[in-house]
Structures are given as structure tokens and as C-alpha cells.
Amino acid sequence: WNTGILAMAASGLRPTGIICRGPFATAMAVRMRDRGVVRKVCFDGRGAYAAEWEEYRIIDDEALIAQVRPLEQEAVLKSDLRIAV
């Protein structure tokens, strides 16, 4: 339902782009771009989510940990711009 809230906010504000901190926000923004709500998506990839989750067990859910690596890869490949340190 977060995607719905983002879609409503973007429809009202009409931003030209969205800067997303992390793969989950980027996945939502890519959907908004594909629907024509925004033109550009920037992935802020300063955190290595998949590596952190696997090494430090921040989330103790194997299914979710298995999903974050492909989601992070998709965020890198499908975003228009990337920020990394």
C-alpha cells in the first residue's frame, strides 16, 4: 500500500524525478516511472542491503533475505541514475 501512497503524492506534486534510499524505495519509484508519473529514478545505493542482511542478520527471515539481493540488483539496473560512496 506504500506504492499507492507514493502514486497519490507523485500525482499531486508531479515531480520530474525521485531519489530513493535503498532498493525497496527504488522498486516503488521504478513502478511510478513505468506508469509515467515521474521521468527519472535515482537509486541511492550507499548501503549494501543484501550483504548487510546476510552477514549481520538484521532481518531474521530467510525468504526476505533471499529476495533482497535480486531486488537490489534490479534497483541498480533499472534506475536512471545511481549514487554510491
Q: Which residues pair with 41 in a beta bridge?
A: 18
Question: Exposure of 24 by Cβ count < 10 A (0-12 exposed, 13-18 middle, 19+ buried)?
Answer: middle
Report d(CA 38, CA 70) in Å as an integer.
Answer: 23
pLDDT single digits (tens) 16-62: 999 999 999 999 999 999 999 999 999 998 888 888 888 888 888 88
Question: Which pLDDT band holds residue 4 (cuts at 50, 70, 90)?
Answer: confident
Question: Which pLDDT band holds residue 2 (cuts at 50, 70, 90)?
Answer: confident
What nine digits make up the cell of 29?
A: 519509484
Q: Which pLDDT score, from 0 to 100, does residue 53 have?
A: 86
Q: Which pLDDT score, from 0 to 100, does residue 13 have?
A: 92
Q: Which pLDDT score, from 0 to 100, does residue 32 have?
A: 92
